Structure 1
Amino acid sequence: MEEEIKMIEKNNTWELTDRPKDKEVIGVKWIYKTKLNADGSIQKHKARLVAKGYSQLPGITTQTFAPVARLDTIRALIAIAANKKWKIYQMDVKSAFLNGYIDEEIYVEQPQGFIAKGSEEKVLRLKKALYGLKQAPRAWYSRIDKYFIDRGFRRSLSEPTLYIKSQGNDTLIVSLYVDDLIYTGNNEKMIQVFKEDMMKTFEMSDLGLMHFFLGIEINQEKEGIFICQRKYTETLLKKFKMKSCKIVTTPLVTGEKYQKEDGSQKVDGSMYRSLIGSLLYLTATRPDIMFATCLLSRFMQSPSQVHYAAAKRILRYLRGTKDFGIWYKSTNDAKLVGYTDSDWAGSVDDMKSTSGYTFSLGSGIFSWASKKQATVAQILSGSGIHCSCCNIKSSHLA
């Protein structure tokens, strides 16, 4: 807590002032979190002072949207780095939202445990954003975006959190996910200059080579880069008491059809939704369960025993494949290849079709989706999906 307050004061985030008569004063509270490493061990205990942004009035605070990197972009960056044999590095911005400038006049209460003696009735006027404010994400993104543009980076037109800097034959690519940065390039000196400038401008944590990002385990080798979510899979099996379940070889029963009203008894919706949500997060590195998970997500409003049994079957499949992930092999012949396919009137409930696609760069797939179409189609055409493009292999991290 003291470290958080020191960071806020060092950043000149607020100033003590008299309580305004015509302005709303927003409350603050402490949030505590334990950050873990990829192996589940404790990395550090963290205290964060946040504003009670939910008390801000709607319609007054409008500049709140801030983009984050898509997982497709992050995987594409990994695929590019693997193909070109580049190293990927990672940095974390300490108290990132405290770096964002705000234009509005905003007041917050003094934090519990750190109330100034003799000034108990005074409040704090914010000069910069504070975690919890609706403006905070937008303010931080505006600040970091300006930083990159001022230093000669080009922002991607299709991905506003991807920045590219070129100097002759040298290239530096940076991807931003809120306060986490991953960066790669073909010139180590250029990378080092960028890192030093970032650490000089912001309070940064240098995490070295990228090895754990958004719950994804990354293993960088000379032959390529392997990504998986083995630890998360083990946690998922433990959470739903499936660590000793019988293993199956497919996520779904081949040819099985599912519908909203199947005649079986209804089950606890909250547990089912928790399971499906966890599986959707796992699809970040497991395209092999994408179709099954998206299919079963259609029944989250009123799941039945049949739906829940099908979802638990995915867990049984995962127990036998928990070391699986995606291998991006280093190669001199990297081609961008896409496949698409669709069933026809596959949904029993409304006769709508389900479409899917995959894209690979070099040896590894980096983008995929499975989605039910919005309208009923009479005729469908498309190329078949070549399953080998997924390039799924067993982990050698064990």
Structure 2
Amino acid sequence: MDAYFIDHGFERSKSESTLYVKTQDTSTLIVALYVDALLFCGDDEKMIHDFKIEMMKRYEMSDMGLLHHFLGMEIYQENDGVFICQRKYAENILKKFGMSDCNPTLIPLAVNQKMKKEDGEKKIDACIYRSMSESTLSWCNKERVLRYIKDLTNFGIKYVKGAQVNLQGYCDSDWAGCLDDMKSTTGHSFSLGSSVFSWTSKKQESVAQSTAEAGYVAAAMATSHVYWLRKILGDIGMNRTRHINIKYHFIREAIEECEVQLTFSKSEDQVADIFTKSLPKEKFFKFRELLGVMEHHIKRENCS
């Protein structure tokens, strides 16, 4: 399929090998591959129509219409924007672990809670732990994360139509937040006009000797991610940036060449905090809203 795309005027992204872009006069068609599925969008209806016909003829594909479901996500294309959620996926997780009728909780972690491997509590079956970790991506005080998911089944991210395109990110660190190895946690998030579309919560690879070092490592990770995002945006015609080696000390060069701009963010406005530590309810709600996460009631017949 790669050869077909290249032969028919598409350019493959150098930063994302499954992304292809075709430009024709002032029109653009963007195609993303995932196993045997194709996701595509564009600004020219004829160009989209011709592409669908060609794909169905050549590869015996079926036209599934507008995107509604993908990799556990539900996508709702509305007049004022696009809403993405995982309601059905969340409900399946709760059912799998017998938590469908549990009492919900408003936040996933108790305030100032620090977790460790040996916390004095009863050990759980390793198979259950791995299964739940794969489903929820984190293990927060046993079933508490599931109780939080129970409260969040109608929530998702809304991307507002007509928002000004502006790549903006937040990054932060929780110094020595892991009690087992004293490693710090990096958190960053990026939005493009309205709501967050890329985020990370990850333990740093080495032990930072100070809050400054932990923050510097976090900033370096976020900056390297900015370059990757800007390359992707450049591939689809939104902006361009040159190649740069990814090293911790490259932040200074990035600032001097105006590739990125670092600004101080007060703790009450530091959205990335939500990815590094447990927060009080009021601050957690505020940051969650700033990320674009909101409640959105959807008619059940559209969610199957």
User: Which interval holds the TM-score relative to the shorter structure?
Assistant: 0.7 to 0.9
Q: Can you list the C-alpha shifts for 1:131-151, whole angstroms capped at 9, x where unaligned?
A: xxxxxxxxxxxxx11111010
Task: Give 1:112's aligned residue.
Answer: none
Q: CA deviation at 1:264?
A: 2.0
Letter of the aligned partner of 1:390 in structure 2?
L
Q: How many percent identity over aligned positions?
A: 52
TM value normalised by structure 1? 0.56
Where do 1:97-116 residues align within 5 Å? none
2:209 counterpart of 1:378 = yes
Q: CA deviation at 1:389?
A: 3.7
Is the 1:276–1:311 contact (alpha carbons within 8 Å) kept by the matching residues of 2?
no
Q: Which of the numbers 66, 83, 86 marks the counterpart of 1:209?
A: 66
In structure 2, distance between residues paired with 1:333 and 1:367: 17
Letter of the aligned partner of 1:342 in structure 2?
S
Where do 1:383-398 residues align within 5 Å? 384=265, 385-386=270-271, 387=287, 388-398=289-299
Q: Can you list the C-alpha shifts for 1:143-184, whole angstroms capped at 9, x where unaligned?
A: x11111010001011100000000121000001101111100
Where do 1:266-277 residues align within 5 Å? 266-277=123-134
In structure 1, distance between residues paired with 2:14 and 2:69: 27
Q: CA deviation at 1:245?
A: 1.0
Task: Give 1:368's aligned residue.
Answer: 199
Q: Which of the numbers 91, 108, 123 marks the counterpart of 1:251?
A: 108
2:44 counterpart of 1:187 = yes
2:26 counterpart of 1:169 = yes
Task: Give 2:99's aligned residue.
Answer: 242
Is the 1:210–1:218 contact (alpha carbons within 8 Å) kept by the matching residues of 2?
yes
Q: CA deviation at 1:332?
A: 4.4
Secondary structure of residue in 1 paired with 2:40: strand
Task: Give 1:327's aligned residue.
Answer: 158
In structure 2, distance between residues paired with 1:192 and 1:164: 16
Change (3 A) 1:335 1:277: same
Please identify which structure carries the higher strand content.
1
Q: Can you list the C-alpha shifts for 1:42-95, whole angstroms capped at 9, x where unaligned?
A: xxxxxxxxxxxxxxxxxxxxxxxxxxxxxxxxxxxxxxxxxxxxxxxxxxxxxx
Task: Give 2:241's aligned residue.
Answer: none
Is the 2:75–2:83 contact (alpha carbons within 8 Å) kept by the matching residues of 1?
yes
Is the 1:275–1:311 contact (alpha carbons within 8 Å) kept by the matching residues of 2?
no
Q: CA deviation at 1:395?
A: 2.1
Report the structure number with the largest CA radius of gyration.
1
In structure 2, distance between residues paired with 1:391 and 1:332: 13
Change (3 A) 1:234 1:361: same
Moved more, 229-238 or 378-387: 378-387
In structure 2, distance between residues paired with 1:263 and 1:164: 54
Secondary structure of residue in 1 paired with 2:177: coil
In structure 2, distance between residues paired with 1:376 and 1:332: 40
| RMSD between aligned residues | 1.4
2:244 counterpart of 1:343 = no
In structure 2, distance between residues paired with 1:332 and 1:253: 35
In structure 2, distance between residues paired with 1:357 and 1:163: 27
In structure 2, distance between residues paired with 1:161 and 1:232: 25
Task: Give 2:186's aligned residue.
Answer: 355
Is the 1:352–1:377 contact (alpha carbons within 8 Å) kept by the matching residues of 2?
yes
Is the 2:163–2:194 contact (alpha carbons within 8 Å) kept by the matching residues of 1?
no
In structure 2, distance between residues paired with 1:278 and 1:332: 33
Secondary structure of residue in 1 paired with 2:5: helix
Change (3 A) 1:244 1:377: same
Secondary structure of residue in 1 paired with 2:143: helix
Task: Give 1:41's aligned residue.
Answer: none
Task: Give 1:43's aligned residue.
Answer: none
Is the 1:251–1:314 contact (alpha carbons within 8 Å) kept by the matching residues of 2?
yes
Change (3 A) 1:342 1:205: same
Alignment gaps of 5+ in structure 1: 1-143, 281-292, 297-306
Is the 1:360–1:389 contact (alpha carbons within 8 Å) kept by the matching residues of 2?
no
Secondary structure of residue in 1 paired with 2:64: strand
Please identify which structure carries the higher helix content.
2
Is the 1:363–1:389 contact (alpha carbons within 8 Å) kept by the matching residues of 2?
no
Secondary structure of residue in 1 paired with 2:178: coil
Aligned residue pairs total 229
Q: Can you list the C-alpha shifts for 1:79-126, whole angstroms capped at 9, x where unaligned?
A: xxxxxxxxxxxxxxxxxxxxxxxxxxxxxxxxxxxxxxxxxxxxxxxx
